[in-house]
Amino acid sequence: MGNRLIINKIYELLAKQYNNDNWWKADSIDEVIIGAILTQNTNWNNVEKAIAVLKENGLCSLAGITKTKEEDLAEYIKASGFFKVKAKRLKAVADSLYMINLEKYDNDELRAFLLSIHGIGNETADTIMLYGYNLPSFVINAYTMRIYSRIGIINKKDKYNQVRQLFMDNISKDIELYKIYHALIVTNAKEACKVKPLCTKCPLKALCKFGSDYENIDSKSK
């Protein structure tokens, strides 16, 4: 099966298995941007706690962040972990993006601009583009790398942009599809393709090289 067929087939199988309707429902673009920074190296529950504190204090916006001192911000977002580093990043992002004129940039320029801001790497830039600004930029994360390398479409050592391009070349350029597909990948990694995979409950088992080998080894050991 070619890459286009298999990547689209995987989407179909994941969409049949999981319902991701409630994935990343934020109240504003600013909240998505803030969440994209806070989620670095932590789980989403901790991000929600930090966002709740920012909201209680009326600071869950780029304007709110720009007017808050870095050390105070660190206290507000303590629940998200690495709070000093993240406070510095949030300040850099808010100062750069507050009042940004999106019309000045095409998608590639905006992505390059985001990547030039302290603390924004590929995954965060694409998350902000896709879930914040509603632009077609596919998000790759560690879960994507794990699932697709196990299936055998990519190599674990492939570069971020190479894998992103593989998706963007092979699925329809549809913002909602990009959003849902990434959410489905995350869900499958949490439900089945964990560090120690639960292949028997994975909807991708029939397509997956690692899954069929793993199952054979598992059944021999019983």
Write out the residues near ligand SF4 by the rule CB under 6 A: 147, 150-151, 192-193, 197, 199, 202, 204-205, 208, 210-211
Give the nearer residue to ligand SF4 in terms of CB position, either 111 or 150: 150
Closest separation between CB of residue 8 and ligand SF4, Å? 16
Closest separation between CB of residue 208 and ligand SF4, Å? 3
The answer to whether 63 touches 145, Cβ cutoff 8 Å, is: no
The residue number with the shortest CB distance to ligand SF4 is 211
Give the nearer residue to ligand SF4 in terms of CB position, either 124 or 144: 144
Cβ neighbourhood burial of 55 (10 Å; 0-12, 13-18, 19+): middle
**191: nearest Cα among 130, 139, 146:** 146
Closest separation between CB of residue 204 and ligand SF4, Å? 4
The answer to whether 38 touches 81, Cβ cutoff 8 Å, is: no
Closest separation between CB of residue 151 and ligand SF4, Å? 6
Closest separation between CB of residue 145 and ligand SF4, Å? 12
Give the nearer residue to ligand SF4 in terms of CB position, either 25 or 196: 196
- Chain CA centroid to CA 110, Å: 18
Closest separation between CB of residue 63 and ligand SF4, Å? 42
Give the nearer residue to ligand SF4 in terms of CB position, either 122 or 188: 188
User: Which residue type is seen at 102?
Assistant: L
The answer to whether 181 touches 11, Cβ cutoff 8 Å, is: yes
- Residue 123 has, within 13 A of its CA and on its CB side, a CA count of 16
Radius of gyration from C-alpha coordinates of the chain: 19
Give the nearer residue to ligand SF4 in terms of CB position, either 33 or 183: 183
Give the nearer residue to ligand SF4 in terms of CB position, either 102 or 195: 195
Q: What are phi and psi for residue 144, nearest 5 degrees?
A: -60, -45
Q: What is the residue-wise DSSP string for 19-79?
A: --TTTT--SSHHHHHHHHHHTTTS-HHHHHHHHHHHHHTT--SHHHHHTS-HHHHHHHTGG
